[in-house]
Amino acid sequence: MTSTATGGPLTAEGLGARVQAFLADHDPASTDRLKFLRARFDAGLAWVHYPEGLGGLGADPGLQRGVDAAFAAAGAPDNRPHTNIIGLGMAAPTILRFGTAEQQRRWLRPLWTGEEIWCQLFSEPGAGSDLANVATSAKPDGDEWVVNGQKVWTSLAHDATWAILVTRTDPAQPKHRGLTFFVCAMDSPGVDVRPLRQITGESEFNEVYLDDVRVPDAQRLGEAGQGWAVTQNTLMNERVAIGGGTIPRESGAIGELVKVWRERPELRTPGQHDQVLRFWVEAEAGRLTAERLGQQQAAGMPGPEGSGAKLTHARLNQQISSFELDLLGDEALRYTDYSARRPVLVTHSESPANWRFLRAKGNSIEGGTSEIMRNIIAERVLGLPAEARADKDTPWKDLPR
């Protein structure tokens, strides 16, 4: 942990003083937004728990909220986290844990400032919930790897500069052991991004075809064949990011429901108050749990408990958005915007209630299905016996597909 001039660990007061000193030298009102964000990163006030030189000061992760609040109170620009959720929530902690010093210096700063957007090339048509069954191949060729395959459900691929990519490099190994993890430039020759239209009408995610895409070995994260361990770490971070993505109280779906409840009393019917209150309590319990998990993630220890947060997030979002439609009645039935837009991930407050209802259907699929989350909780949290696996020691190339 970084020490102050007196030799003690950084405190909230010490960090607050650093923020004020930074603001004195970088007036948010007159400093270019990107210049401000780069300087904040270089000052160690981006991720305060990250190491010095990588956007942090080695401080306690629990101090981040105070730093962010101080910058917000000063009117400072943020890094628009909702536009780069995969980069911030999944790629960054993976790079920090498995990346080389050179990789960390190259990717973390423009990732945090939002100059480079990230996506995640994991799921495939034949490998979604069973991610270890990926078929996208990577074959060595000198100091590069040649990648061929298809990925699907890739959020933000149309905006992304970089992708985290899991591939099969040794089909003679059992499916969990023959994988390797890369970072792939999305403008590489052979990368073809195609939109997938969603039930909401828009296309925030995509299918991605990789045809003889050349990825330098210098963009490999972890050792060749270690890809499943790297992927598992990323997935645990992803579930914390999804389940803990609405940290402020009354944000997300519950915030929109409560807003309608308070501002439109004429919509209320007897018996609904108790249900709104139950939703509020569950959302607040989930928020506090997710905040603790977020601190655990920041310390580099994302655990299987994140699957519980993700499961709760999916269930609550669907139940709350459904209740909001019931509350609004006839006015919520008409859905008028089926234009094939290509948005950056939008927030709940930017869209109508019927969009939230439709979009919430994906919450129990993205980031791992609710069924898989229950299996993880059963086996890794509750310690229940795992299901028998006939494919555990069989070479991937010999598995029926």
Q: Could you tell me if 49 and 97 are in contact, meaning their C-beta atoms sit under 8 angstroms apart? A: no
Q: How far apart are CA 320 and CA 216, in angstroms?
A: 46
3-state secondary structure of 3: strand
Q: How far apart are CA 109 and CA 115, in angstroms?
A: 9
Closest to 89 in 3D by CA, of 228, 245, 226, 221: 245
Q: How far apart are CA 162 and CA 159, in angstroms?
A: 9
- The residues, ordered by sequence, that sit 6+ positions from 204 with a Cβ below 8 Å of its Cβ are 155, 156, 198, 342, 343, 344, 345, 346
Other beta carbons within 10 angstroms of residue 29's beta carbon come to 7
Q: How far apart are CA 13 and CA 21, in angstroms?
A: 12
| Residue of 116, 124, 207, 238 marked active site | 238
Q: Which tokens belong to 56?
A: 């942090």
Give, in degrees to the nearest 5, the angle at Cα 313 between 182 and 299: 50
9: left (phi over 0), alpha (psi -120 to 50) or beta: beta
Asked about 238 being catalytic, the answer comes back as: yes
Q: How far apart are CA 245 and CA 143, in angstroms?
A: 38
Q: How far apart are CA 358 and CA 246, in angstroms?
A: 19
DSSP, residue by residue, 145-212? EEEEEEEEEEETTTT-SEEEEEEES-TTSBTTTSEEEEEEETTSTTEEEEEE--TTS--SEEEEEEEE
- Would you please indicate which residues are annotated as catalytic (active-site) residues? 238
